[in-house]
Amino acid sequence: MKNQTHMQKGAFFALFAAALFGISPVLAKLWTQALNPPLLAGLLYLGSGLGLLLLISLQTISSGKNPLISLRTLTPRLRLKLFGAIIAGGILAPLSFVASFQLASAFEISLLLNLETVATAAIAVVFFNEHVSRRVLLSMGLLILAAAISTIPMDGEIPVVQWRGSAYVVLACLFWAIDNNLTREVEDVPASVLTCLRGLSAGTFNILISLVFFGIGPKASWPSYLPALGIGAICYGVSLVFFVEALRSIGSSRTATYFAVGPFWGMLFALLLLSEKTATHQYGAAVIGALAIWLLHREQHDHLHTHEPLTHSHAHTHENDDHHEHPHELDPGKPHVHAHSHKTISHAHRHSPDIHHRHPHKAVAKN
């Protein structure tokens, strides 16, 4: 029961993050058309970084503890992974993503974003030994099918522009998938700090690229920057904090697949706010994608496993969590961070590949 509650919490984090991120292409198309791709990418991520920096500052004032100190505890290996996550997810991915805005419809972009789920799961399985069941594999296949159907044009002929738009989205999904798996490994740093650092670094870098190679743009003005900063703070900053928390709770492949709900919000808002023309087969692709999400939600996985002795530091609670039973006087339901040790324990229960369940195995999951 404790671990089931833990997984439900992780699923909620992923779904909430997905909804915020899913509507970002629509909002960007509505309010940021005058900005070139690097400038838009920079403002979106800078907005997320500044918003979270304000949140961290308020937390520091109220608690007297600065969460940024956690960056000092990172080993060189983890710092390298953090650097890779910033490059892949904060610079290369958003550049590719916003480049697609002028080449593809928001509805199509939203459908193709589900490929991030597939790429994240594939990398998690191949490089990080994360377990996936037959049900998860089937859901991945359905998402690929939905993405392929969504790229079929309405007139039967695929324009070069549409191919380029689709390619940019696919490339962004690949970079975000790399980012997701690298970020999951940096468990000692609070999600807000990771996302803030990524936003400030990537935002500054992309804005500099824009100024050097593209300039500000003839149609851009200071008022047009504010919507991009706001979209970045909410749809990227807040969304990424919840996404990282979900990664740590239920693992990369499951977080990414729950996150695939986000594009459906984007498709809905594209129809309501942009009045985009949509083909019948694209609605069919959306139905296939919804089926894939339902299959993942039905997945269960349990087997006998052994936890080796481990000492680490990360955000955790003691409520409904049988992996953190060390005593202290804090509120058991209040998240807190400190170094703690885990003893050797062998047990069987339903679980996901969170930071306490990343063991490789050959167990067959319940389907």
The neighbouring-strand residues paired with 307 are: 345
| pTM of the shown model | 0.69
- Domain residue ranges of the chain, discontinuous segments joined by +: 2-303
Backbone angles phi, psi at 350, to 5 degrees: -65, 130
Contact assessment for residue 317 and residue 289, using Cβ atoms and an 8 Å cutoff: no
* 186, amino acid identity: V
Packed helices 239-250 and 160-185: angle between N→C axes, nearest 10 degrees: 60
One digit per residue, the tens of pLDDT, for the chain of length 367 reads 455 566 677 888 888 898 898 888 888 888 776 777 888 888 888 999 998 888 888 878 877 777 777 777 788 888 898 889 989 988 899 888 888 877 877 777 887 887 887 888 888 888 877 766 777 788 888 888 887 777 676 555 555 556 788 889 999 999 999 998 888 777 777 778 888 888 898 899 888 888 887 766 555 566 678 888 899 889 888 888 888 888 777 776 677 767 777 878 888 888 888 877 777 777 787 788 788 877 766 655 455 556 566 665 655 565 555 565 666 666 555 555 666 666 766 555 554 555 554 555 444 344 4
Q: Is 324 exposed, middle or buried (0-12, 13-18, 19+ CB in 10 A)?
A: middle
Backbone angles phi, psi at 345, to 5 degrees: -150, 140
Question: What is the spatial distance between Cα 195 and Cα 75, in angstroms, rounded to a whole number?
Answer: 19
∠ CA(22), CA(23), CA(26), 5° rounding? 125
Closest CA to 267 of 157, 144, 106, 68: 106
Closest CA to 49 of 256, 242, 195: 195
Quote the radius of gyration of the chain (alpha carbons, Å): 21
Contact assessment for residue 271 and residue 278, using Cβ atoms and an 8 Å cutoff: yes
